[in-house]
Amino acid sequence: MPPIHYRDLTTLDEFAAVVQLERDIWGPAYDDVVPVPILAVSVHTGGILIGAFDDDAGRMIGFVYSLPGIKDGRPTQWSHMAGVLPEYQSRGLGFQLKLLQRERALEAGLDLIQWTYDPLQAMNAHLNFAKLGVVVAEYAENIYGISASPLHGGNPTDRFVADWFVRTARVVDRVGGAAPLAPVMTVERANRAQPAGEWLAPAAVDLALDAKRISVQIPIGFTEMLSRAPELALEWRMATRAIFTAYFGRGYRAVEFFVDRAARQGSYLLVRN
């Protein structure tokens, strides 16, 4: 692996490099890039913008960007974007960028960083829950509208709102490498993933469970499904939208995510608040 270094971004040239990186990561048709003036204003008013650089290639290869926010009357950071070039993914760069973002937030005296992510992206879920220690109690339907990015395949941009309480013992443990709780066996299932050719399809959705712990299954490989089986991807979107909105509305929240690579699926653990 080439030597990678990280630094805060502060100049207009660096902001322009971030804009280009957005297009490189999300595709040339992506027209929702954060432009240079917004990056400049965000940094000037207390936002966090950190780049990852490949020293051998002499270029920026990833970044994390958050802007100041307010939650329940207290200052926070809203982490709007984080991305790494495809050829550098799965090397821990995204995790390192989030750790640096947390450091900056702690230095600023903050307790909470929030962001959205697609709940059907299993590897993102693994990073967010198992390695960072987020919790989720809010589901936003089509929050960004239909995206022009080919990575989204015209699927509604439903998102989890992740709460990262950066000072809690849970987060300290997770970022320090502590493993999440083992999968709970006494758990009721809100749905099941069943084989459908080379894919998994949603089945047996139950919105009326009253258990202390509920599991919600999702497929692994949703990005590929978006491009190769968009109708099935939409079926997953609608099924999980119904599940999460129903149970979050009744006081449940997502606290863990478990990956079963052999079965090509993952599962969220929901508990009552």
Domains belonging to the chain, first-starting first, are 1-93 (3.40.630.30), 188-272 (no CATH)
Does residue 73 surpass a pLDDT of 90? yes
Q: Where is pLDDT greater, at 253 or 3?
A: 253
* Cβ 130 vs Cβ 177: under 8 Å: no
pLDDT tens sequence across 152-199: 567 899 999 999 999 999 999 999 998 887 666 689 999 999 999 999
| Contact of 110 with 164, CB cutoff 8 Å | no
Mean pLDDT calculated for residue range 222-242: 95
Q: What are phi and psi of 110, to 5 degrees?
A: -95, 155
Q: What is the pLDDT of residue 152?
A: 59
Q: Which two tokens stand for residue 61?
A: 């290869």
Which positions ≥6 away from 18 have C-beta within 8 Å? Answer: 9, 34, 39, 49, 51, 60, 63, 65
pTM of the prediction? Answer: 0.92
